Structure 1
């Protein structure tokens, strides 16, 4: 693949004239560097003679690429060695560019009082250290992955409970 410039992606097929005649076939191409979603027009050319490559031709159809958004999983939560600290880690949702971590005191969760939900957005590693929590109070956490801060979203992980020291 030669370099590409959005919105076109470039494909090249290199063959000698003899190979082209003897092996007439449809070339398959897998573009592994496509962003998670988008629409692209591919530009294709065949190179029969390296001195005189054909002109670039834009494919007739536009290809829409959407990679399946997976779910975050394996959430773990452990009390930190310092009071009021919780260490959280999870396996990132495949094809997600952002994760949201939500936590709440178990007592508020049980009472249906959701005003104290702790929201944390992460776009990097699939771990986070929360501080400033109430020592000795149980908390409930879950993680969700998304394509962007505005979604679409995967499903929430299973709930994880932890009590900070």
Structure 2
């Protein structure tokens, strides 16, 4: 069950990012340049199955972009958040940090706030899985907070940065 939830979650994230492949657009930043939630611990490839899956996602994304002849890239990282960290805490932290760095909530553009509003509505009804999106120039950032179904006090944060 846990494995299926993780695979579904990661598939959803990959599908979302691939749909943003041709999204509208600043100088690009790397995922490592983005803020990190206080006391969050980055999980490493080869040491954690979620990190391994994200590494595979990035390789598949690069291969797909190469075969389609489009530029850009996707970077993903996963963090173990401090126990009982809520979505509101994560969202408020990143919203303040990212807006201070020139990022907009949602996907940008005229209808960009529609995505943010839809996410907020969906997040309100689900304590196990929440998402937020920000955009700046040719980049879109998706944050996904999910909890371990076997330990609901242990949240994780997946950061997905798509550069077009």
- TM-score band, normalised by the shorter chain? under 0.3
**Structure with the bigger percentage of helix:** 2
Please give the TM-score of this superposition, normalised by the length of structure 1. Answer: 0.23
- Higher RCO (CA < 8 A, seq sep 6+): 2
**Structure with the bigger percentage of strand:** 1
Structure ID, larger Rg? 1
Please give the TM-score of this superposition, normalised by the length of structure 2. Answer: 0.23
